[in-house]
A and B are shown apart, each in its own frame.
Chain A
Amino acid sequence: MTAFADLHEYVNRLSGGNSGGPQPLFWHKEGRVAGVAAATPSAGNLLSLWEYEGAPSHGAVPPTSATLCDNTTQGGWKQTDPSGGRQLWSGFVAGMSNVAGTLWLCDRLGHISGLSGIVNTAQTVGITPTRFTSGAGVMAGIEIYSAIGATATTATASYTNQAGTSGQTTQGVAIGNTNFKEAQRFFPLSYAAGDTGMQSVASVTLGASTLTAGNFGVVMYKPLVQLSIGAASITDVKSFVGGSFLEYLTDACLFWLFRPTAGTVPQFDFSTIAVER
């Protein structure tokens, strides 16, 4: 299947014709995790909204063994999968926050938690996604669930790249110390030279102990669309009509990343429309 033949077909399916099954989806997120205020963000540092509470509900801290995510995973947008061999396409994505910054809607492919901030040997990850299996454009990031320590170090991961070459090692990313140890922080891992994707992540290694075990994990994900919140309370809307429609793969676990411009705990409102074809 491909995206819509033309605007006429899109409008018909968007309004429910031809098994379009339109799904208007909304999501309000509070800056609260586990019943209390979320960790204070820092300007310029990425944070994951996975655990942010709201409607639909927040995500849980991932299991301590590699787990694949799908559209039924608690914490995702929980859209209904298409049926009848059809695909699911988005007509627009919108987001608003009371803190300026940049948002990314991503497909969370797989995750793991339970990694320790005091272990400086390879810690097993073992995520092999079942979506975007070529690995092209697939990324991995470190997500912190409980604060790790204040000693700065770096983290690398061993992975299989988009060409199927295993044993690749990411470039080191900073982790530990102020603004790099707090819960909900998210650190994308940088590919080895020449790579453009990941098919799997085998393990992650810290350069040194951060001195606090905490709890962190690895998330494999595919960025889908970027929204820019130019100032507090400004909405950004990306309409795909007239361009290339965004596909939500069957079983996609949709979640958000945010890079704020201020160290204020944010809240958000999101919306999208998904149509089958």
Chain B
Amino acid sequence: MPLADYTAMKAKMASPTQWLEVAKSIAINANTQGACGMGSSLWKGTGYPATGATPTSAAVCDRTTAGAIPIVNASSGENRAWLSRGGAYTQNAVSGVPMFHVQLIDRLIHSGGLDATVATTQTVTTPALTRSTTGAGVVLALQIYTAIGATATTITASYTNQAGTAAQTTQPVVWGSAIGGQVSANRVIPLSFAAGDTGCRACASVVQAATTGTAGNYGVLMYKPLSPILPMFSTPNGGVGDPLTVLGGYLPLVDADACLDIMVYSGQSNVSMLISLVGSMLED
């Protein structure tokens, strides 16, 4: 249900229906500097909410999946998320005041168990989407659960696009390069769609051009970005912001049963971080 006006928006922000809380410790960019701007998922971080399991076969994620930020479905209307405050605390000595960014995502489908030494097609076969079912705006990415090798190669995936056309092939992206920390656990690497595509409904398989040298463990992640990538400073009082002054009033809709996760983008290399976020859900 739409918000009636700004007065109604303020009232709901003052009286949220539920809180979103995240306090997780995670290692990011374990490799040399150059990984700035590449995202890492908090899924496997330790703290609150509980550490997400490393997936095996491809599976739908929802709000009951261990690791999801706990939410309750809206009782009658729709939920909107507001990340109101956050901070990042580095456990390494860093100079200056590093900038970090966070993004709220809906983790739609994930898989694991892929081997980064295999240079032949590895089957993924994702189940049908239960949210964002058209695939429009759904990002197809790879998530690393155990570090892969540092021998650079490329990787592609076979997927069904937003129009339902199967056997599309992503453009090759760099895979296994030590440059940019792409081999690290927790790294999420978006794949580039084939010409003309704007989304993904399913992923059938991935194939590497060559081995990275280390099997590691990685999988496919299909997710829907919900918030823009929001800046935070590495101070205890870092803020995410007032949606009106920062984000044009945008409070992202959260689908029923969404599996909320946080992507972190580090402005600093080789850090272990504690990410703390507080937000709320506004039901309209």
Q: How far is the CB of B131 from chain A (nearest CB, A)?
A: 15
Contact status A26-B225, CB under 8 Å: yes
Contact status A78-B198, CB under 8 Å: yes
Q: How far is the CB of A15 from chain B (nearest CB, A)?
A: 4
In the assembly, what is the distance between CA of A240 and CA of B246, in Å? 9
Q: How far is the CB of B227 from chain A (nearest CB, A)?
A: 8
Interface 0/1 of A246-275, CB less than 8 Å to B: 000000000000000000000101010100
Contact status A17-B4, CB under 8 Å: yes
Inter-chain contact count A-B, CB under 8 Å? 164
Contact status B37-A98, CB under 8 Å: yes
Query: Which A-chain residue is minimally distant from B196 (CB atoms)?
Result: A74
Given A232-B37, A234-B267, A239 and B246 contact (CB-CB distance below 8 Å): yes
Which B127-149 residues sit within 8 Å CB-CB of chain A?
137, 139-140
Interface size class of A (residues with CB under 8 A): 35 or more
**Which residues of chain A have C-beta atoms less than 8 A from B140's C-beta?**
55
In the assembly, what is the distance between CA of A273 and CA of B195, in Å? 24
Interface 0/1 of A79-110, CB less than 8 Å to B: 00000000000111010111000000000000
Candidates B191, B249, B251; contact of A10 at CB < 8 Å = B249
Interface 0/1 of B40-82, CB less than 8 Å to A: 0000000000000000000000000000000000000000100
| Centre residue among B193, B231, B250 by max chain A CB count within 10 A | B250
Q: How far is the CB of A247 from chain B (nearest CB, A)?
A: 14
Q: Does A237 contact B (CB under 8 A)?
A: yes
Query: Which A-chain residue is minimally distant from B154 (CB atoms)?
Result: A35
Contact status A98-B38, CB under 8 Å: yes
Q: Does B153 contact A (CB under 8 A)?
A: no
Query: Which A-chain residue is minimally distant from B192 (CB atoms)?
Result: A53
Contact status A32-B196, CB under 8 Å: no
Q: How far is the CB of B191 from chain A (nearest CB, A)?
A: 7
Contact status A17-B3, CB under 8 Å: yes
Query: Which A-chain residue is minimally distant from B230 (CB atoms)?
Result: A235
Contact status B248-A24, CB under 8 Å: no
Among A56-64, A145-153, A208-216, which stretch is in contact with chain B? A56-64
In the assembly, what is the distance between CA of A231 and CA of B251, in Å? 27
Contact status A235-B231, CB under 8 Å: yes
In the assembly, what is the distance between CA of A273 and CA of B137, in Å? 13
Contact status B198-A57, CB under 8 Å: yes
Among B5-13, B212-220, B271-279, which stretch is in contact with chain A? B5-13
Contact status A11-B249, CB under 8 Å: yes
In the assembly, what is the distance between CA of A25 and CA of B139, in Å? 12
In the assembly, what is the distance between CA of A92 and CA of B99, in Å? 21
Contact status A56-B198, CB under 8 Å: yes
Contact status A92-B284, CB under 8 Å: no
Contact status B191-A55, CB under 8 Å: yes
In the assembly, what is the distance between CA of A16 and CA of B195, in Å? 31
Extra pairs beyond A8-B7, A267-B37, A273-B248 (10, CB < 8 Å): A9-B5, A14-B3, A54-B193, A92-B247, A98-B37, A233-B37, A233-B265, A239-B245, A241-B245, A271-B225
List A residues at the B interface (Cβ < 8 Å).
Answer: 7-18, 20, 22, 24-26, 28, 30, 32, 35, 37, 53-58, 60, 74, 78, 90-92, 94, 96-98, 231-235, 237, 239-242, 267, 269, 271, 273
List B residues at the A interface (Cβ < 8 Å).
Answer: 2-9, 36-38, 80, 99, 101, 137, 139-140, 154, 171-174, 190-199, 225-226, 228-231, 244-252, 265-267, 284
19 residue pairs bridging A and B, Cβ less than 8 Å apart = A7-B244, A10-B6, A15-B2, A17-B2, A17-B3, A24-B225, A30-B190, A32-B192, A55-B139, A55-B198, A55-B199, A57-B193, A57-B196, A74-B195, A233-B101, A237-B246, A241-B249, A267-B37, A271-B225
